[in-house]
Amino acid sequence: MLNVSHVTKKYGKVTACSDLSFHLDPGSVTVLLGPNGAGKSTIMKSIIGFLRYDGEITVGGYPNKTADARRLLGYIPEMPSLYPNLTVSEHMEFIARAYRLNDYKVRMEELFRRFELTDKQKKFGDELSKGMQQKLNICLGLLPEPKVLLLDEPMIGLDPHAIKELKLLFEEMRTEGRTMLVSTHIIDSVDMLWDRTIIMDRGSILANVARDELDKDGRTLEQLFFDMTEGADRTDETSGEESTSWEEQAK
């Protein structure tokens, strides 16, 4: 559903992403893990079409910057950029118009109910607390029901109720066959819900592994993350076995 092929992005002399390739299936949640500066936001912004880069990205078979791909793609940025002079419901109306959504009101009300924004609908963007802004940011990304949804650090600033709702939504969207790519550096926030993880550091992919492959390997996601990013020996010291095939594949 989403194909990233040999993508390199440089900001001047800084290589933020170096020859990245991966593929995401429909009906899956992939977590993109990595320390600060790993290149997570850069690959997300490249996929969504905000940046120029070398390489190729397709969504549902369409090049990512085409109108066909844009119809399939959604993005929830890390920093909500709300309009101070639009109300909560006017923000949703703005997105509905941009995506030419008919009959969006039922879905809007459902999202407001789930994220506890129903009584905040008439508040202006600059009257909302940080947490409320992030909830609205999430509702705006979910309103068009994208087939492929990218979420950059979505849990930051959310209260426990909103985190629970978002996790439920991930499960529902997976069942509906949607593809989600969730970037985070907080492993606990995604530990229960991922199908695949891609671990990045310094612009490269260090591991690209499905949950069942990691379960067979016997490591937790956190152990894998620290083994990959803190330079531990990648061979198994007790058995002397070579690195697993998915680690090799990611190199």
And the tokens for 175? 């069942």
- The C-alpha angle with vertex 89 and arms to 88 and 94, in degrees rounded to 5, equals 100
d(CA 140, CA 137): 5
- Contact between 42 and ligand ADP (CB under 6 A)? yes
Total site size for ligand ADP, rule CB under 6 A: 11
Nearer to ligand ADP, 168 or 186 (CB): 186
Rounded to whole angstroms, the Cα distance separating 212 from 209 reads: 8
Assess 38 for contact with ligand ADP (CB under 6 A).
Answer: yes
Does position 11 interact with ligand ADP (CB under 6 A)? The reply is yes
> Does the protein bind ligand ADP through residue 228 (CB under 6 A)?
no
49 binds ligand ADP (CB under 6 A): no
Q: Per CB under 6 A, does 52 bind ligand ADP?
A: no
Task: For residue 75, give every residue at least 6 positions away whose Cβ sits within 8 Å of its Cβ, in sequence order, or none.
Answer: 44, 48, 141, 149, 150, 151, 152
Residue of the chain from 4, 22, 30, 41 that contacts ligand ADP (CB under 6 A): 41
Query: What DSSP character marks residue 125?
Result: G
Pick from 1, 2, 7, 16 the residue near ligand ADP by CB under 6 A.
Answer: 16
- 184: contact with ligand ADP by CB under 6 A: no
Of 33-41, 191-199, 220-228, 234-242, the window that binds ligand ADP (rule: CB under 6 A) is 33-41
CA distance 26 to 125: 34
Q: Cα–Cα distance between 211 and 197 in angstroms, integer?
A: 7
Taking a C-beta distance cutoff of 8 angstroms, is the pair 187, 197 a contact?
no
Tell me the C-alpha distance between 21 and 53, whole Å. 13
Helix (H) or strand (E) segment spanning residue 42:
helix 40-48
CB of 48 to ligand ADP, least distance (A): 13
Q: In terms of CB distance, is 86 or 156 closer to ligand ADP?
A: 156
Residues 191-210 that bind ligand ADP (CB under 6 A): none
Stretch that binds ligand ADP, among 29-37, 68-76, 130-138, 161-169 (CB under 6 A): 29-37
Contact 53, 17 (CB under 8 A): yes
Cβ 18 to ligand ADP shortest distance, Å = 11
Point out which residues bind ligand ADP (CB under 6 A): 11, 14, 16, 34, 36-42
